[in-house]
Copies of this chain bind each other. A is one copy, B any other.
């Protein structure tokens, strides 16, 4: 039996090696990439080539491939493979979530090479999330559970005030910490991460307090409005605790490499709680 490094430990090592917390967001929407599977795939390859070296990994938006049916799915697999071959971490943004056997089927579809981790929607609770976590641990992979997203509509349900006085997403954050407790590696990072929108410093400090071992996947930088400096409150003991996807901000920049490097350097300069 070979020793399988946990996702948290692998993530920390990858951040140390690549000296970057930036995830190149590959969201080949027709408006930016042009329509069709070939255009989507070519867009991703160009972005990888231009900005990949300044990044820790990629965050692939599966919807943009799925819309092209079976050929789109095959294109997703090729792009993910290419990113992995470049030494990049591969995170599939799929936001799946269902019960028991169905979650197992989704995990089987997505938590396998070349993917290192996927996003999961936890609304259905423990028995919906567990199959993903089990598959992640068994394969040395990770899951990122939605906790507090970055879109305006997040207020509608995630911020609902509970009878305890706390917002609903803090109850969810407690659950995520509990579900992730058994997969904390020597690095102090769990294989169970959290998707936390990059805004509202007060909220970030509280969520870090509730989820000390969770790597945070933090969308919302750039076009969605947050400033990289706002993320200091979310930092744990190691830079691998904060991962920042950037798609339009990098891929559509005049010089994608320079844009990725600039974001990388700003994140590297952050200090916890500042």
Instruction: Select one of B63, B102, B163 contacting A161, CB under 8 A.
Output: B163
| Residues of chain B contacted by A110 (CB below 8 angstroms) | 66
Q: Does chain B have a CB within 8 A of A61?
A: yes
- Give chain A's interface residues, CB within 8 Å of chain B: 27, 29, 31, 61, 63-64, 66-74, 77, 93, 95-103, 105-106, 108-110, 121-129, 146, 149, 151-158, 160-163, 165, 168, 171-172, 175
CB atoms of B66 and A106 under 8 A apart = yes
Q: Which residue of B lies closest to A122 (CB)?
A: B157
Instruction: Select one of B98, B168, B172 contacting A63, CB under 8 A.
Output: B98
CB atoms of A101 and B165 under 8 A apart = no
Give the one of A93, A102, A122, A157 with max B CB within 10 A: A157
CB of A228 to closest CB in B, whole Å: 20
Given contacts A123-B121, A160-B168, A163-B165, contact A70 B77 (CB under 8 A): yes
Q: Which residue of B lies closest to A146 (CB)?
A: B123
Could you jot down 5 A-B contacts, CB within 8 Å? A61-B105, A67-B108, A67-B109, A95-B96, A157-B171
Cα A127 to Cα B157 with chains together (Å): 12
Q: Which residue of B lies closest to A224 (CB)?
A: B99
Instruction: Select one of B71, B73, B151, B163 contacting A124, CB under 8 A.
Output: B151
Q: Which residue of B lies closest to A31 (CB)?
A: B101
